[in-house]
A = this chain, B = another copy of it.
Amino acid sequence: MKTKKSSIDPRPLPDRKNTAGRMNKEQPYPMIHAGQLVMLVSPKGKRYFRILDPSEILNTNDGQLQMQKVLENGFGSRLDTHLGKTYTVLKPTLYDLIKSVRRRTQIIYPKDIGYIVIKLGVGPGSRVVESGCGSGALTTALAWFVGDQGRVYSYERREDFALLCRENLEKNGLGPRVEIINKDISLGFEQQEVDALFMDVRTPWDFLEHIPGTLLPGGPVGFLLPTANQVSTLLEALEQGPFASVDVLEILVRRYKPVPERLRPEDRMVAHTGYLIFARLSTGVPDSSFELHLESQAEGDVCEP
């Protein structure tokens, strides 16, 4: 997993902004470069993700599609397979990628992922540890945000899930940014001074001892737990230290039927995925002033959404 030679490059080329004026009759659709991630949508809405390799011939349910044509025609174009079925070429969003994750486990959803990433401070260049990877929805998002300069270390005890996660990452092209470690975390993590750490495991309190050696002092750690009992047990363990600024919350998404003259919420909604718990690794200094202050700060947050 050390080589990045096949890495995708979702970024525009440096001179991209100078090409903005080229949407003319000769080349109506925005250019795609080899190595960019593309999404191909079938007439029935099925989605294919590919890191653009112009020499590839994509085999779809509706016939073959030459990726060279995708490169030539650009985002937004519509291309026919050799059987005459029309596919649309799009630049995928992270939401598209997460939706396409093949699942054999409960996944972490966009509503939770978005908040996790902000609380953990994940961004271009971040080095992040997560455990376990499950089907790889959060892994996909972390890999998306850390960029080519960052790195995701994903621990997964079960080999079948590790393989599934790897498979999903190969499909969506973010694999090169992720190191999947098929290992039990009761043995600890191999990394040091990572910027953030996330645990989606059943008994996170058993592994808290490994955090100080792995996470940057003062760094953010997050947990997802489905039951209130687990939250209580974790909070108790976090109180033993060395942690500060503990936050517990849940996020609810309520969708509406998008009908202008009859606007109303959907009849049903997802009522629970899990509780999110966040804390900050304390700086290990004997006196507790830092921790206390961050906590009083957290107090002030009580009503912040």
Which of B191, B233, B265, B285 is close to A260, meaning CB atoms less than 8 Å apart? B233
Contacts of A216 in B (CB 8 A): 30, 75-76, 91
What does DSSP make chain A's interface, helix, strand, loop or mixed? Answer: mixed
A23 on the B face (CB < 8 A):
yes
B231 touches A256 (CB 8 A): yes
B125 touches A114 (CB 8 A): no
Give the interface centre of A118, A148, A229, A252 by most chain B CB atoms within 10 Å. Answer: A118
A303 touches B270 (CB 8 A): yes
Contact string against B for A residues 208-231, beta-carbon threshold 8 Å, 1 for contact and 0 otherwise: 000000001111100000111101
Supposing A45-B296, A78-B290, A268-B271 touch, asked if A232 and B239 sit within 8 A by C-beta, the answer is no
A231 touches B263 (CB 8 A): yes
A60 CB to nearest chain B CB (Å): 14
A17 touches B127 (CB 8 A): yes
Copies in the assembly, this chain: 4
Once the chains are docked, how many angstroms separate the CA of A140 from the CA of B45?
Answer: 35
Contacts of A231 in B (CB 8 A): 228, 256, 263
Contacts of A104 in B (CB 8 A): none
Once the chains are docked, how many angstroms separate the CA of A125 from the CA of B37?
Answer: 13
A123 touches B111 (CB 8 A): no
Once the chains are docked, how many angstroms separate the CA of A262 from the CA of B274?
Answer: 12
A12 touches B255 (CB 8 A): no
Contacts of A116 in B (CB 8 A): 114
A1 on the B face (CB < 8 A):
no
Contacts of A11 in B (CB 8 A): 124-126, 149-150
A248 on the B face (CB < 8 A):
yes
Give the interface centre of A45, A216, A266 by most chain B CB atoms within 10 Å. Answer: A45
Known: A124-B147, A124-B149. 13 other contacts (CB 8 A): A11-B125, A11-B149, A14-B149, A76-B217, A77-B217, A78-B285, A93-B119, A93-B196, A94-B118, A114-B115, A114-B116, A115-B253, A231-B256
* A-B pairs with beta carbons under 8 Å apart, 17 shown: A9-B125, A10-B124, A16-B127, A17-B127, A20-B192, A92-B121, A93-B120, A111-B115, A114-B118, A124-B145, A229-B232, A248-B263, A249-B255, A250-B254, A251-B253, A254-B271, A267-B272
> Sorted from nearest, which 4 A-B pairs have the closest CB atoms?
A114-B114, A11-B125, A76-B217, A93-B121
